[in-house]
């Protein structure tokens, strides 16, 4: 099949999947986000079609039950992963929509996660995992610029170059024997949930810079996507202070001002 035909098929599948998810979950994407999501798909295909062709099981369900927290609460872990098998080896892939710079800066977290998945796979299927990798479909600054150029001017050269120099494949060392601490950390979180301990961090912590993200703090990276932000005291303190410190500054973020307006509107209701 010609590559152009394959990309048209991908678009059809993407639209069908989107409609199905929208119908099932009731969440819609704005047209810009949807467009970028499909760019992620195309980038992945153009860069890693060989790897995609090796994957013989997608969204494989892994389940680990009978776990117990330090306080005696029972819990289970459910994960979905992609698997590629050759005659001798089994590879595990986890696709993330973050960019590779961010994932690399937070590598330890993903190593822990993939090691746990490797252990779950081994316990269920008995095959030792040969390799595990995170695939970062998020756009680097170069890719963002190249897509913009392609969309506005129809110039494909920069995009081809950006995809060529992009390396979204982040291999992690597989060591399924390191999972005891990860499971214990999960257990502590479960205990907090069961104990209804939902205290948010102090507002000053929301200013902490996020590793691997330029000029982005915790509030922008996490809180902006948190459904509880307008009832969160730390977030309200953070944006009130940010608003005050940026008053008169022409570069004041429109998004931030919108957040403040939204907060006031919610408080008035
Ligand atoms: S807004 Fe959400 S993510 Fe941010 S501190 Fe509050 S509860 Fe946590």
- The label of the residue with tokens 């010609």 reads 2
**CA 200 / ligand 1 centre spacing (Å):** 6
Q: What is the pLDDT of residue 194?
A: 96
Domains detected in the chain: 3-194 (3.90.320), 203-268 (no CATH)
**CA 230 / ligand 1 centre spacing (Å):** 9
Q: Tens digit of pLDDT per residue, the chain (269 long)?
A: 777 889 999 999 999 999 999 999 888 889 999 999 999 999 999 999 888 888 878 888 999 999 999 999 999 999 888 888 776 778 888 888 888 989 999 888 888 888 888 888 888 888 777 788 899 999 998 999 999 999 999 888 999 999 999 999 998 888 877 788 889 999 999 999 999 998 899 999 999 999 988 888 999 999 988 988 888 999 989 988 876 565 544 444 556 666 666 666 666 66
The contacts found for 11-19 with CB under 8 angstroms, 24 or more apart, are: 11/38, 14/38, 14/41
Query: Nearest residue CA, atom 5 of ligand 1?
Result: 200
The rounded distance, in Å, linking the Cα atoms of 4 and 20 is 24
Helix (H) or strand (E) holding 257: helix 254-268
Query: Nearest residue CA, atom 6 of ligand 1?
Result: 232
Q: What is the pLDDT of residue 150?
A: 93
The rounded distance, in Å, linking the Cα atoms of 58 and 26 is 24
Query: Nearest residue CA, atom 7 of ligand 1?
Result: 200
Q: What is the pLDDT of residue 40?
A: 93
């Amino acid at each position: 099949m010609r590559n152009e035909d394959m990309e048209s098929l991908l678009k059809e599948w993407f639209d069908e999947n989107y409609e199905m998810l929208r119908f099932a979950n009731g969440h819609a994407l704005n047209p810009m986000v949807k467009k970028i999501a499909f760019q992620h798909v195309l980038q992945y295909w153009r860069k890693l079609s060989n790897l995609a062709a090796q994957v013989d099981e997608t969204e494989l369900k892994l389940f680990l039950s009978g776990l117990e927290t330090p306080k005696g609460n029972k819990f289970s872990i459910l994960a979905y992963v992609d698997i590629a098998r050759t005659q001798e080896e089994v590879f595990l892939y986890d696709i993330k929509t973050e960019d590779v710079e961010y994932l690399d800066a937070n590598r330890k977290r993903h190593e822990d996660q993939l090691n746990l998945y490797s252990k779950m796979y081994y316990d269920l299927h008995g095959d030792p995992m040969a390799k595990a990798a995170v695939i970062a479909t998020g756009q680097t600054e170069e890719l963002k610029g190249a897509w913009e150029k392609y969309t506005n001017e129809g110039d494909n050269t920069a995009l081809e170059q950006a995809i060529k120099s992009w390396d979204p494949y982040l291999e992690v060392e597989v060591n399924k024997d390191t999972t005891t601490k990860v499971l214990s950390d999960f257990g502590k979180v479960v205990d907090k949930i069961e104990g209804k301990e939902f205290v948010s961090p102090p507002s000053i912590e929301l200013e902490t810079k996020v590793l691997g993200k330029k000029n982005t703090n915790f509030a922008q990276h996490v809180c902006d996507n948190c459904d509880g932000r307008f009832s969160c005291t730390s977030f309200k303190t953070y944006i009130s202070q940010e608003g005050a410190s940026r008053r008169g500054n022409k570069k004041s973020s429109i998004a931030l001002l919108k957040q403040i307006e939204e907060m006031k509107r919610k408080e008035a209701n």
